[in-house]
Amino acid sequence: MTGQLSPIDKAKFVAAKKAVDYVEDGMRVGLGTGSTAAWMVRCLGELVREDGLKIRGVPTSTRTAELAREVGIEVISLDEAKWLDLTIDGADEFDGELNLIKGGGGALLQEKIVATASDQMIVIADAAKEVGHLGAFPLPVEVIPFGWQTSRALIEEMLISVDVLGRDVTLRMNGDHPYVTDEGNHILDLHLGRIGNARQLAMVLNQIPGVVENGLFVDICDVVVIGHGDGRVVLRDINEGTVEQDRLDFVESDNLFKDMMD
C-alpha cells in the first residue's frame, strides 16, 4: 500500500508515525485537523486497537471527531477534558522560531483553543512547509457572518500600516457559497506574500470588530516533526534547542491506509 503513496504523503506519514511516540497511556490528546493530522489519528487508532493504548482524544473539527471514532479512539470534549497533556496537529507553514500559519482546512479556531489548552503542542509537517518568513500561504482569518464585508474593509485598511508584501483579502468559498466553519463563521484569506512581524499582526487582527480568530500561531508550538519522502524525520524542539534525526521504515498495513483521504 505504501508503495502507492506519493513522496509528499510518505513524508506526512512518517512525521505522523514519529509524533505518536510522544503519546503515553492515559493521556488526554488534542487531535488536529488536515491531511497530515489524519495520518496521526489513524496511527493512534492502530495503537489503540492493536497495542491497547488508552487515551482520550479531543478533536479540533467534526471530521476529525468522525475519523477518531472510526479508528477506535475515545472522543471527549475540551470541557470534559479541561486540560490536555499534548496536542498533535499539522501546519500550513512554519518558520525557524516554530511560529505557524494554520487554518487551510478551516478549523483554526478550535485548533488554537485546543493547542493553547495543552501542556505541549507538536506539529507534524512535510519539509515543504518550512519557510524563511511566514506569509506565502494565505493567512486565514475567521469572521462572523454579520458585517463580514465591513470586517474585510477594516482588515484591508489595517494592512496598509503593517509589514507585509501583499494586501489582497478574499472570502473563502465552498462552490457558489461562502465557506462555513464548524462555528458557523466565514473565513477571509489574506494574501500577504510575506509577514514581517507575525506577533504584531496576530494581535492587531484580533482587535478588529467581527474577527473571531486568526491563523497565526505564535509561541504555541513546542516541537515540530518534519517528514521526508525517503523516511527521514527531523525533530526540532524549540524549548530544548535540540535537533534530532531518525529514519522510519514503511510498514504495510491495510487497516492504516484504508480509505485515507488527501
Is 89 within any annotated ligand binding site? yes
Is 103 within any annotated ligand binding site? yes
Is 210 within any annotated ligand binding site? no
Catalytic member of 46, 93, 111, 213 = 111
What's the CA gap between 204 and 159, in Å, rounded? 10
Helix spans in 5-128 (H): 7-19, 35-51, 62-70, 78-81, 108-116
Check: CB of residue 102 under 8 Å from CB of residue 51.
Answer: no
Is 116 within any annotated ligand binding site? no
Is 102 within any annotated ligand binding site? yes
- Give the single-character DSSP code of 37: H
Distances (CA, A) of 22 to 25, 49, 173, 179, 213: 10, 18, 36, 34, 28
Is 112 within any annotated ligand binding site? no
What's the CA gap between 166 and 108, in Å, rounded? 22
Phi and psi of 242, rounded to 5°?
A: -115, 155
Is 60 within any annotated ligand binding site? no
**How far is the first Cα of the chain from the last one, in angstroms, to the nearest whole number?**
15
What's the CA gap between 195 and 136, in Å, rounded? 8
The residue whose grid cell reads 511560529 is 99
Is 72 within any annotated ligand binding site? no
Is 92 within any annotated ligand binding site? yes
Is 36 within any annotated ligand binding site? yes
Active site residue 111: yes
Q: Which residues are annotated as a binding site?
A: 33-36, 89-92, 102-105, 129
Q: Which residues are annotated as a binding site for substrate?
A: 33-36, 89-92, 102-105, 129
Residues with active-site annotation: 111
